Structure 1
Amino acid sequence: MGEHRPTGATLVSSNAFGQLLLRLRLEAGRTQEQQAEAINTVSGRETMTRREISRYENGENIPTSHTVAHIAVACGLSPDQLKREAASARAQRRKSPVKQELDDMKRRTMLGAGPLIGAALASEPWGRLTHALNRGSQLDSRSAETLAERAGALHISENHLTAQQLQRNVVVHLDAITTALAQSRAHEKELSIAAGETAALAGWLAWDLGDQPSARCYYQVAADCARVAGHPPLRALTLAYASYGASTPARRIELLADAAKHVRGPGNATAAAWVHGRHAEELAAAGETTPALRALDRARTAYDYADPTAEQTWVRFMSPARMDSLALSVLGELAHPELNEAATAATQRLGSDLPDAGVVILGDLAAALLKGSDTEHGVHVVRKFVAAATARPNTMGRARALAIAGQLPDRERDLAAQLRVLAA
């Protein structure tokens, strides 16, 4: 009869790679569940689970090269380094038990050596990675770019995620960028900008969920990132987000006027359109008609030159529909004669089916139509708005629900009641 070995003995004895994954997770200060969330954030999918992380760390499984790359980026490492380790681990499983045990002993010894490992010992894959963990690795350009792109994608997720859902994703991604930033200096500016953009969004979400102290802390760290990176548009983003939670109209206008100073020059057209549009919105709410119309004109002019795909990643939320929304908000607040024409044009751009364009956009369009002459169409859009705001409740949606409720015709009392429930 052949030699009998307990099930899983080889896996346990040859688990140097699992030990390495465990160390990476602990270096990042994460639980297994948090590690799974960080990997899902990098990959943009929801496939990784705590159980799978446990299987990797216990040596039951070696992740695919694709997954290894996501793990590396989530831990602030170059995927190539971790891929070499995974390849070595797979080769290790094909060796004889005696040779495997000898190599495992060497690996465990070196992994536990910590800062005693020097550059001379980094010629082997395990030596290179352990050395990198102690000295700081060089995240490759593609991994840094992936983290930055993900930060931008989060800014447009409000269209289909609630504030609570989005907040979890944002916090996990901020953790992934922070880990990468601590490990690598080669892409410090790029990662600092991505971290600041993510922190600014985290502040906005905290405000949206009624947590002002956390919002202020996030905005402060986002401003610090803008200063460290020397990136004015990030400073503008932080100021514009902070304007929503400012305590007085004068303070909101002041913050937005300051933000406008940081979006001058080429490459900032989309950001400038949003900042000037927000400035116009607050000026209109304060009854400053002429300054509001001038700010709106600056926003529209800037948007004529905008290319969201070639500018900062976070500006992608500034779609034509969002520009229309800002214009309708300003013109509606001022009861401007151009309102009807602007509402008609915005409706045509959205299409007759009124696709999921976001709670804010639908709210502004509904309000504009009700203030104008197309009441029937306005009521139709209000119903769409109620459905969207119910699915994705947020502070801006509640504010618009309250404003719209008072504009509905008397025959729509039930709809008005639904809006007031949303606003509560």
Structure 2
Amino acid sequence: MIGFRPGTEVTLMADPFALLLLQLRKKAGRSQEQQADAVNAVSGRVTVTRREISRYEHSETIPTNHTLGHIAVACGVPYEELLREAKAARTRRAQARRRVEQDEEDMKRRTVLEGAVVGVCTAAAEPWGRLAAALQRGTKVDKPSASALIDRAADLHIQELGLSARLLQHKVESHLDAITAVLPRAGEHERALTIAAGETAALAGWVAWDLGEHPKANAYYKVASECASSAGHPPLRALALTYASYGGNAPQRKLGLLRQAAQDVRGRGNAAAAAWIHGRYAEEAALLDNATDALQALDRARFAYDFADHTSEQAWVRFMTPYRMDSLTLSVYSQLRRSELAVTANDAIARLGNGLPDGGVVVLGDLAVALLRGGNVDQGLDVTRKFATAAHAKPNTMGKERARAIASLLPVGERDLAHHLRQLAA
């Protein structure tokens, strides 16, 4: 039966068929160009190019049934099984397309979205500009409409766990426009909608940063902080500051942002957020080789997490699972070359089991680095392969950073894997 090698399955939005084609080519020991030549040799004419092979392996397109027959012969696998996998892939693509269309249709049906396309202020061309202008106004909107917008903002933070930045960006920016359209008439719901707008703006900034649009990200973070000030809601500012800390270009500046963020989440109901922020501070301090500060911050993060419930606090900390706490700990111990690294990595593997949590790209990346750096090469390679599959399914900036680090730690005999990781990091 055609399938993935044991241990390579993930529960992200991977296209199993694209990954299968990649594995079949790798198993044959061919480059993409050589694979195209092999398929053309079977067909007897030049019908497939290296670019087409790349598109198949990156889920951009699915081969026709005719081409599948040539690929099956070229790779020495049964055509019927390859055809079955391709049909399943086409079904998944159609279902995904219908979900996107339904989501867009639902947004159109909400009467609260009237005027969202035009925006509140035609002089402010970008979503963050329209939101900043809308913060100056206010009248009334009904409770169901306000609740729908607030719930949607929370749901987008949850969707971020599974969707790539490119797929998420339009949804987030459209929703920011929708909230902006109603803020001038928010009435008694103004504070709650302002907080939801700020949470959406912060997520829009994170998505923009993930796509390399750094000025845009900073503009969103700034207006998210303005929403926090307007609503008198410090945890929202903490969200914007912590997101901004990933893109800061000066280490001390990053630490300053995180210190302020930690102040903003003091108090009940913010334990998961506090754990994330202190963990981030520990990461940045470790990068500066400040072991004392890093370990103290990590202790604060782990203490806060003992009181956390990431499923019932703010939607934007839903990613802060026990796996992500393991990831932060491994990142710090690995950077500082701490003796606790091996035991922590083993505990993380035991917790992970055979599954992959939300946000799994970062978790697997930190675990792979920890195992390889700690000398556990066999397990490190196994986790690295799982990471490569996950990173291919959901490409993002943090995944690229982990791919680059892992590639530098791989043994000499794993040149192909290292090359693949460097391609992911490019």
Query: Which moved further from structure 2: 316-325 or 218-227?
Result: 316-325
* Partners of 1:252 and 1:232 in 2: CA distance: 18
Distance 1:305-1:68 versus aligned 2 partners, 3 A rule: closer
Q: Post-superposition shift, 1:69?
A: 10
Task: Give TM-score, length-normalised by structure 1.
Answer: 0.68
Equivalences for 1:277-292 in 2 at 5 Å?
277-292=279-294
Map of 1:174 onto structure 2: 176
CA contact (8 A) 1:139 1:186 kept: no
Cα RMSD after superposing both structures: 2.4
Count of paired positions: 308
Identity of aligned residues (%): 57
Map of 1:374 onto structure 2: 376
Distance 1:346-1:389 versus aligned 2 partners, 3 A rule: same
* Partners of 1:171 and 1:202 in 2: CA distance: 6
Q: Post-superposition shift, 1:47?
A: 4.2
Query: Is the partner of 1:250 in helix, strand or coil?
Result: helix
Map of 1:128 onto structure 2: none
Letter in 2 for 1:281: E
Which of 370, 382, 385 is 1:383 aligned to? 385
Letter in 1 for 2:146: A
Map of 2:333 onto structure 1: 331
* Partners of 1:398 and 1:178 in 2: CA distance: 33
> What is the CA deviation profile of residues 296-338 of structure 1, one whole-angstrom value per residue up to 9, with x for unaligned ones?
0000100110122332221112111111111111111111111
Map of 1:311 onto structure 2: 313
1:165 aligns with 2:174: no
Map of 1:139 onto structure 2: 142
Equivalences for 1:197-216 in 2 at 5 Å?
197-216=199-218
Q: Post-superposition shift, 1:170?
A: 0.9
Letter in 2 for 1:279: Y
Map of 1:410 onto structure 2: 412
Map of 2:111 onto structure 1: 72
Q: Post-superposition shift, 1:167?
A: 1.1
> What is the CA deviation profile of residues 101-145 of structure 1, one whole-angstrom value per residue up to 9, with x for unaligned ones?
xxxxxxxxxxxxxxxxxxxxxxxxxxxxxxxxxx954321x4433
Map of 2:100 onto structure 1: 46
1:422 aligns with 2:414: no
Bigger radius of gyration? 1
Equivalences for 1:139-288 in 2 at 5 Å?
139-140=142-143, 142-288=144-290
* Partners of 1:69 and 1:202 in 2: CA distance: 20
Distance 1:49-1:258 versus aligned 2 partners, 3 A rule: closer
Distance 1:220-1:71 versus aligned 2 partners, 3 A rule: same
Distance 1:356-1:271 versus aligned 2 partners, 3 A rule: closer
Map of 1:365 onto structure 2: 367
* Partners of 1:68 and 1:206 in 2: CA distance: 22
Query: Which moved further from structure 2: 248-257 or 311-320?
Result: 311-320
Query: Is the partner of 1:155 in helix, strand or coil?
Result: helix
Distance 1:300-1:199 versus aligned 2 partners, 3 A rule: same
Which of 353, 370, 374 is 1:351 aligned to? 353
Query: Is the partner of 1:278 in helix, strand or coil?
Result: helix
More relative contact order, 1 or 2 (CA 8 Å, 6+ apart): 2
* Partners of 1:381 and 1:153 in 2: CA distance: 30
* Partners of 1:309 and 1:255 in 2: CA distance: 25
Letter in 1 for 2:141: Q
The unaligned stretches of length 5 or more in structure 1 are: 1-43, 53-66, 78-134
> What is the CA deviation profile of residues 137-156 of structure 1, one whole-angstrom value per residue up to 9, with x for unaligned ones?
4321x443332232223223
Q: Post-superposition shift, 1:212?
A: 1.6
CA contact (8 A) 2:141 2:182 kept: no
Map of 2:323 onto structure 1: 321
* Partners of 2:315 and 2:392 in 1: CA distance: 28
Query: Is the partner of 1:266 in helix, strand or coil?
Result: coil
* Partners of 1:289 and 1:150 in 2: CA distance: 41
CA contact (8 A) 1:76 1:139 kept: no
* Partners of 1:333 and 1:395 in 2: CA distance: 19
Letter in 2 for 1:228: S
> What is the CA deviation profile of residues 23-45 of structure 1, one whole-angstrom value per residue up to 9, with x for unaligned ones?
xxxxxxxxxxxxxxxxxxxxx95
CA contact (8 A) 1:272 1:299 kept: yes
Map of 2:129 onto structure 1: none
- Divergent runs of 4+, >3 A: 44-50, 67-70, 73-77, 353-357
Map of 2:57 onto structure 1: none
* Partners of 2:357 and 2:277 in 1: CA distance: 25
The unaligned stretches of length 5 or more in structure 2 are: 1-97, 117-137
CA contact (8 A) 1:76 1:184 kept: no
Map of 2:26 onto structure 1: none
> What is the CA deviation profile of residues 394-420 of structure 1, one whole-angstrom value per residue up to 9, with x for unaligned ones?
111111111110111122111011111
> What is the CA deviation profile of residues 350-396 of structure 1, one whole-angstrom value per residue up to 9, with x for unaligned ones?
21244564211111111111122432111111111111112222111
Letter in 2 for 1:74: L
* Partners of 2:313 and 2:216 in 1: CA distance: 28
* Partners of 1:68 and 1:256 in 2: CA distance: 35
Distance 1:185-1:45 versus aligned 2 partners, 3 A rule: farther
* Partners of 1:214 and 1:355 in 2: CA distance: 29
Query: Is the partner of 1:337 in helix, strand or coil?
Result: coil
Equivalences for 1:95-110 in 2 at 5 Å?
none
Distance 1:181-1:249 versus aligned 2 partners, 3 A rule: same
Q: Post-superposition shift, 1:294?
A: 0.4
